[in-house]
Structure 1
């Protein structure tokens, strides 16, 4: 846990400390989203022997290998040839929110494009502005391979999205847990076409593979199989500290080290949203 918690970025900490004294700038907002709530590095930063290799932050890595696909998160640093340095801001926005690369190809899972389509215009702009400032990293990842069909698109072009008012509310928590942190993708039971949002929202049960072994996403609903027996403080500790009520450390791939810098209000908002999920038993 100490290694993952060490991922917190000093610039984000400084911005959080200064937040009460002055308005957040676009770059500070982008840094907070990329490095904390969205935890982009949790997929895009390669692992070394001791954990995430922050010398190659956002330089890309193998994310998931299963019978359906072998997915690599690409280099998203400003490197001109190996990363996204040659992309325009609009091209980078389209890749993040619409899953469309500049060459017209579609980005596949586990990139949660259907949720990212709900990113607000302001937050998307902030993330793009921040990604332009990170150190360029050399190196590319192989192309992802899919044994499932990818859609021709994820829908029409997106614009004009406004986030709910920030605050420790379930409404804002739904925005953070959905379009920003994509909790509802990993923790919603998968069917043949992906997460079954209409029938299994938050029920979990998905396997994720990595150097740590196999992790199964937890049930986040109000069912007794889920969070019904947990206090708000215990849920907060699991999100931001990666620690169960009995003190046991939780396993990746959940980005505890990133979430450790989440503000109290944002963590409270996510917990408030989770409390609204209809109770569902663990999938079998």
Structure 2
């Protein structure tokens, strides 16, 4: 982890001044895109009101997820030194995102999708950390999460290194649906222990409660999408309009996904088409 972040910094330090600035700008732009668009981190970490995100509270935490296994409260991930992550090192932020472990050694529980985030590529993880450093700090202390299930001592051995996906539409789409946008987290049934049922990826069924009422994650495998065109799938993801013209509801982050690049959207749809059908 430290090697990965150090390598990113070293690449900037040894580049020519103009090239270093261009690399830094590219890293920050990639981080912005991951955090604000495909990752839609604000969907959980920005407190919401009846009309959407609360003004001046971007990524400041406080959203409550009250389910049978837990009462989880999204933390403040702005650089505020007192209530956010301002005093964390880059490596500590990266470890929290990809391995679910805070600087004090405590484990981050669901609904943080650790089963998927462990697959974040080194370059993308470094970009996310760099971008989070630039977010305006917001002072907002949030209550601690309460878990009615035991949390594991870890989510696996430390992640040494993860490469970017192969330049193949399905491989890139799988990376988007899993580690980046974690579509499979919300569209996969939840087990009693609060984690995703990895044997039923994409089958839907998870219940979400919020200011919008109660919604159920839909089946996004070919079993449900076989009659949908690519254009209809894209419209649903970007705008929240279903195949029959009805409106889809939160917590699907249409506000973020509407800005997804055409290539990423095409790759994501290619992957959804390739998934095993689940009923």
Structure-1-length-normalised TM-score: 0.87
Q: 8 Å contact 1:121–1:159 — kept in the other structure?
A: no
3-state secondary structure, aligned to 2:65: strand
Q: 8 Å contact 2:48–2:63 — kept in the other structure?
A: no
Written as runs of structure 1 = structure 2, the 5 A alignment for 1:48-197 is 48-165=49-166, 169-193=169-193, 194-197=195-198
Unpaired segments ≥5 residues, structure 2: 1-21
3-state secondary structure, aligned to 2:156: coil
CA distance in 2, matches of 1:89, 1:138: 20
Partner of 1:203: 203
Q: 8 Å contact 1:74–1:141 — kept in the other structure?
A: yes
Cα displacement string for residues 53-102 of structure 1 (whole angstroms, at most 9, x for unaligned residues): 24110000224111211111100000011100000000000000000000
Post-superposition offset of 1:50: 1.8
Post-superposition offset of 1:143: 0.4
Q: 8 Å contact 1:31–1:130 — kept in the other structure?
A: yes
Structure of higher RCO (CA pairs closer than 8 Å, 6+ residues apart):
1
**Considering only aligned residues, what root-mean-square deviation do their CA atoms show, in Å?**
1.4
CA distance in 2, matches of 1:271, 1:185: 17
Runs of 4+ in 1 over 4 A off after TM superposition: none
Post-superposition offset of 1:145: 0.7
Q: 8 Å contact 2:188–2:205 — kept in the other structure?
A: yes
**Corresponding pairs, count:** 256
Partner of 1:214: 214
Unpaired segments ≥5 residues, structure 1: 1-21
Q: 8 Å contact 1:45–1:54 — kept in the other structure?
A: no
CA distance in 1, matches of 2:212, 2:51: 12
CA distance in 2, matches of 1:90, 1:32: 21
Q: 8 Å contact 2:69–2:192 — kept in the other structure?
A: no
3-state secondary structure, aligned to 1:64: strand
